[in-house]
Chain A
């Protein structure tokens, strides 16, 4: 275990070490104190544990790595993630998982506004609730909300799939409730398991997605998404 205390080591030195050609496999980071871009841009199968609250863009652009935050995360955690796993044990601020292409983002608490905005293929599982305009213009991937969703869920959504266990305060433009078929229950069960959600059954969730009336969608191309 490589231990780094950000009260002593600079954030830039930590990130540079994580970006190095052959980074150590396991890291533990103390005293993050809301620092921005912590563990952003990793492209290696390393594990990073962060003890405390982080600032903006933690684990942004993540590839391969597993980053676990024992605290809250600021705006844009795991934004533009490509692969790997990011876990926030507390709450996440706005735009969690924004534009993320791949990987799994798990938030044990709540996520605020615009969770999964413009997501492009990642999976996001929120144990709690999400704020307004979540999954805005979401193109691909799955967003699972075990609590409630704020207003304008899935506004202008493309082909992402949304699963909400509680109430959605309102659906955005072109977002509609859709039938839960076996294939959806199966993928939801798998996502809940991977995200360590206990006590939630796929049958308790509703599925939302695009009515495909708003964007220039041609059904002949549906298989390409």
Chain B
């Protein structure tokens, strides 16, 4: 099963309450994914020349010492994760952590993205990570019912798909082992044996080769064997794609204040003004995307 949710704010009120709204959406999707939960928030962009890392560390991790070591400001702690803003480019910062601190996992890197995820019921996740305090321009979320691989924090969604990019997935892929081998030969790194991480790696590879997000997603229709509804977050917005057979559900809705997507309407019903929203089911095999510049 799994549940996915995306919320894109078009008003200050919704941006201020983004974490609360997404948290409510995740709670509605708990039945679809009781094993783990995760979110990607786009908020407080790091200044030019700096970048932002979301890190997952073992209990008792010395985040302050790490921040001093890398010359970052005070780390923002949230559950088992910490967000650091560092004075270097995102790729360099990510490489530095991987080399110097192999005990840490880089969950995301970029200017605006923050990823938080953890094994356990969505309700606990929402509380432990203080989701309701978070503001931002847009966010994606996921509740997982594991099928293809183990239940751990690393196997939870969202998966980072490159700088400021992430993916959440409802479905399962059949050709992920072969595709992972092919992508590894192209230099794409994987941290788990999860099928959705392969979809994320595939998008990273296609965009590294010059494809736009839309083109990369269209490539999924050819190269991924399986069923899926994907939501992909970017610095400017998010995109949605369903497999051509449409095995997995998706519903979208829009008001003057927000655009939302979710596995089920009940996750949209909790948003302000949902009764008056335009609601539709995205067509299979078609890429839908929203970007800040386009709706402004």
Contact = CB atoms under 8 A, between A and B. Distances in A.
Interface in B236-279: 245-246, 249, 251, 264-270, 274-275, 279
Interface string A114-153: 0000000000000000011000000000000000000000
B284 A113 contact: yes
Given A112-B246, A132-B246, A93 B281 contact: yes
B280 interface: yes
A75 interface: yes
A72 B246 contact: no
Interface in A36-69: 36, 52-53, 55-56
Q: For chain B, what secondary structure do more than half of its interface residues adopt (helix, strand, loop), or is it mixed?
A: loop
A23 interface: no
A56 B251 CA distance: 12
A53 B249 contact: no
B279 A74 contact: no
A91 B281 CA distance: 9
B246 A34 contact: no
Nearest to B279: A72
A20 B249 CA distance: 33
Chain B interface residue bracket vs A? 10 to 19
Contacts of B275: 52
A110 to B, nearest CB: 9
A34 to B, nearest CB: 3
A33 interface: yes
A72 B265 contact: yes
B284 A132 contact: yes
A72 B278 CA distance: 11
A14 interface: no
A30 B47 CA distance: 48
Given A72-B279, A93-B281, A112-B281, A35 B246 contact: no
Contacts of B279: 53, 72, 90
B106 to A, nearest CB: 36
Interface centre among B266, B268, B274 (most CB of A within 10 A): B266
Interface of A: 33-36, 52-53, 55-56, 72, 74-75, 90-91, 93-94, 112-113, 131-132
6 interchain residue pairs of minimum CB distance: A34-B266, A34-B265, A33-B269, A34-B269, A113-B246, A112-B281
Given A36-B266, A53-B279, 13 more contacts: A33-B274, A34-B267, A52-B275, A53-B265, A56-B264, A74-B251, A74-B265, A90-B279, A94-B246, A112-B246, A112-B281, A113-B245, A113-B246
13 contacts: A33-B265, A33-B266, A34-B264, A34-B268, A35-B266, A52-B275, A74-B249, A74-B265, A93-B251, A93-B281, A112-B246, A112-B281, A131-B246
